[in-house]
Chain A
Amino acid sequence: MTVLSPDATTPVEIRKKGGERLTIRWADGHESVYLARALRGRCPCAQCVSETTGARLVAEGHVRPDVAIAAARPIGNYALHFDWSDGHTTGIYGFDYLRRICPCAACAGADA
């Protein structure tokens, strides 16, 4: 796993479009756009990722196509927390993690 620079994992702007989309502009100028379902399907919590094997238990294909972000709030300086419309609330998405899962063409697969 490559080491990300502090600027790459520091958000300068976080925008949400209703429940469907989240956009983060990072200090290094990059912009990441996350669609709700894809983001829900990458939830890093222990219910969605096996604590023992690290295998993903809940992926995008498992969640409802119309899943939406019911609420989003920052956790301290380092993460975002989401309440999902399907009732899931346990994921804390660190900015480091969010940058690593940036779905844009340039980033996708770069750190797989």
Chain B
Amino acid sequence: MSAVTIREPQVLDALRSVMDPDLHRDIVSLGFIRNLVIEGDVVSFDVNLTTPACPVKDRLREQSRQAVLQGVPGVRDVRVTMTAEVRRPQAPDTSALKTVRNIVAVGSGKGGVGKSTVAANIAVGLARTGARVGLLDADIYGPSIPILMRAGRPAEPREHGIEPGEAYGVKLMSMGYLTPGDQPLIWRGPMAHKALQQSLLGVNWGELDYLIVDLPPGTGDVHLTLVQTVPVTGAVIVSTPQDVGLQISMKTLRMFQQTKVPVLGIVENMSTYVCPHCGGRDDLFGHGGARDAATSLGVPFLGEIPLDAAIRRYSDDGRPVILAEPESPSGAAFGAITGRLAQQVSIQAFKHIALTIVEE
């Protein structure tokens, strides 16, 4: 019978010399030691590893045993039980979006078709009807919403998330805010993934009826992250009337269909050009291609936006045309498209069944 009293801190201190070779930290600070029991001069505990398949299990067992035997005076025997509990990567916390009713993605096949302009005008158009609207600029390659909406940077992130900016009654967040000034975002997939999750889930959106997400062109990491992270209510595809633009748009459309995101409709941008001098019409990029495609695919056609210098002028000025000149042909076109979109969102929201897994 030993006269020395063995204390728990002594045992834990001794065990701190044992390192997990993969995680490069000691097994005490990793929280692996469980059920530590000291009975006289016998010490027993569990080493709870992250996988039962740990290749260094036996080595860790022996190291732990020796560490206590040699490091703590008076110990006669050490009983180590190896257990394992597989830690899982945490699913993203989507609670920030609990107060967001509908998430609408705006995508296109290629760049330069006016996707961001459409997204900005739709967002402002919806806000003008009294809806609570957010606009997330997720175009990592060319974040243009801050220009189109003449919005400054939002406040610095606080402990409880990023406060969105606001312009024309629309709450704003841009992935462009994540880098300083005019620096481009040079990101590999995993970084784009993280950044979108942060701009989507780390922002205090509050109560929103619609969150419009302006996607990068094409079908890439940002799209996949979006459709995997949140239940997207539906998607809008922006295309030019040109067949080439349209064929590429179809790929984006099929990506949404494959990930079960309902396609709310197609918008034809840069449709007919109306000459401001003579009023003559000219279909510079063709006309009606998107309508035909929508009809043949059985998806709604939301409308066409004329090629109008006013759109460019107001956009550069940071005032969406739907606000600056709602009665102009292009302003009216955006207004009509916004209405049809809201209608389609309502239809989808009605049909949509929230996916939950219930325990039986």
Contacts and interface: CB of A to CB of B under 8 A. Distances in A.
B107 to A, nearest CB: 15
Given A12-B353, A76-B232, A77-B259, A87 B358 contact: no
B229 interface: yes
B7 interface: no
A89 B13 CA distance: 34
Contacts of B355: 11, 14, 74, 77
B183 interface: no
Contacts of A87: 51-53, 86
B182 interface: no
B259 A15 contact: no
Contact of B230 (A16, A72, A76, A83): A76
Nearest to B355: A74
Given A11-B355, A72-B357, A77-B232, A83 B260 contact: no
B91 A73 contact: yes
B142 to A, nearest CB: 25
B359 interface: yes
* Chain A interface extent, by class: 20 to 34
Contact of B259 (A71, A73, A76, A83): A76
B261 interface: yes
Nearest to B87: A87
Interface residues of B, number: 25
Interface string A73-88: 1111111110101110
Interface in B330-360: 353, 355-360
A70 interface: yes
A9 B259 CA distance: 11
Interface string B55-97: 0000000000000000000000000000000101101000000
Nearest to A78: B260
Which of B51, B355, B358 is most buried by chain A, counting CB atoms within 10 A of its CB? B355
B88 A15 contact: no
Contact of B358 (A16, A75, A89): A16
B333 to A, nearest CB: 30
A87 B358 CA distance: 22
A103 B356 CA distance: 22
Nearest to B225: A76
B358 A76 contact: no
B88 A76 contact: no
Interface in B229-245: 229-232
Given A70-B88, A71-B88, A89-B89, A76 B357 contact: no
Contacts of B2: none
Among B53, B88, B232, the most chain A Cβ lie within 10 Å of the Cβ of B88
A47 interface: no
Contacts of B230: 76
A79 B357 CA distance: 12
Contacts of A89: 88-89
Most chain A beta-carbon contacts within 10 A, residue among B230, B260, B353, B356: B260
Contacts of A32: none
Interface in A57-71: 70-71
Closest 5 CB pairs of A and B: A78-B260, A87-B86, A77-B260, A74-B355, A76-B227
Interface of A: 9-18, 23, 70-81, 83, 85-87, 89, 92, 95
